[in-house]
Amino acid sequence: MSVVRRVCSMFPQVVGFSKRNISFKTLDPPSPLAHGIHVFYCPDAVGIVAKLSDCIASRGGNILTADVFVPENKQVFYSRSDFVFDPAKWPRAQMEEDFLKLSQTFKAMRSVVRVPALDPKYKIAVLASKQDHCLVDLLHGWQDGRLPVDITCVISNHHRASNTHVIRFLERHGIPYHCLSTTKEEKREGEILELVQNTDFLVLARYMQILSRNFLRSYGNDIINIHHGLLPSFKGSHPSKQAFEAGVKLIGATSHFVTEELDEGPIIEQMVERVSHKDNLQSFVQKSENLEKQCLRSAIRSYCELRVLPYEEKKTVVF
């Protein structure tokens, strides 16, 4: 026992707790990092990736993911970079200037940088007709934050009573609803243009009206549309019923940009699902509508996250 006591007394600070007061230096918490996105579209050249990386790294930023696409025999370059940075060390205005210099160096057709936490959300207007499924899904997606947009208004050519779910939702959240009844002769496009003039892009959530060439050119910004994937075989009214009666085995939905060619704009997103003899008309329609909701929501999210770039005349690059 005496040996043990002697050993313990020799090493009091190792095997026991010191009774001395120990002071610790308080470290300043690290600056919160912000997330940035940059997309680049320019003629292909040597050293683009290196210059992009250096632009971000030289300001203390760190690339998390980088996607690059160089189509064969096209001599063009596409990229999308996700990165984090310290806003105190790389102010937003300086970032814009740095990427502008880079775009000038490589004669870029498109160079866009976005910092979701600092930049305003995209302002959109939603156009809808009688069917509610896509409209309701967008409103709920906006409400729970799945869609990083601000909805300025909803425009429809169909009257909705004050006690309907859509109108109650819009009134509760202060989103204006404009009912503009249309005819073949009067599409009321001038009134629509006035309502959407401060938006970044439009969403057609099953809006069953054709927008004219004059409207598209006057508006000038992108318009995203959704339609079922039963075209061109089943046109006109009740396409789902036509497809169901024809016994199709595969249904789908397509979201695309609106152009002057009806339903032929560059495709952003497509989704498909199998149906079978076990489906009745109700389940068939439900599956089709679910695809439309998912497809449109995905297309809008991809657009807001700068994942969509033009490719050739009628195509897109979607990272």
Residues labelled as active-site residues: 263
d(CA 105, CA 145): 37
Beta strand pairing status for 250-257 and 110-114? unpaired
d(CA 307, CA 82): 11
Beta strand pairing status for 222-228 and 110-114? unpaired
Count Cα neighbours of 253 within 13 Å in the Cβ-side half-sphere. 25
SS (H, E, C) 105-164: HCCCCEEEEECCCCCCCEEEEEEECCCCHHHHHHHHHHHCCCCCEEEEEEEECCCCCCCC
d(CA 192, CA 127): 9
Q: Distance of CA 87 to CAs 36, 95, 196, 238, Å?
A: 10, 9, 33, 53
**57 three-state secondary structure:** helix
Q: For residue 88, how many other CB atoms are within 10 A of its CB?
A: 10
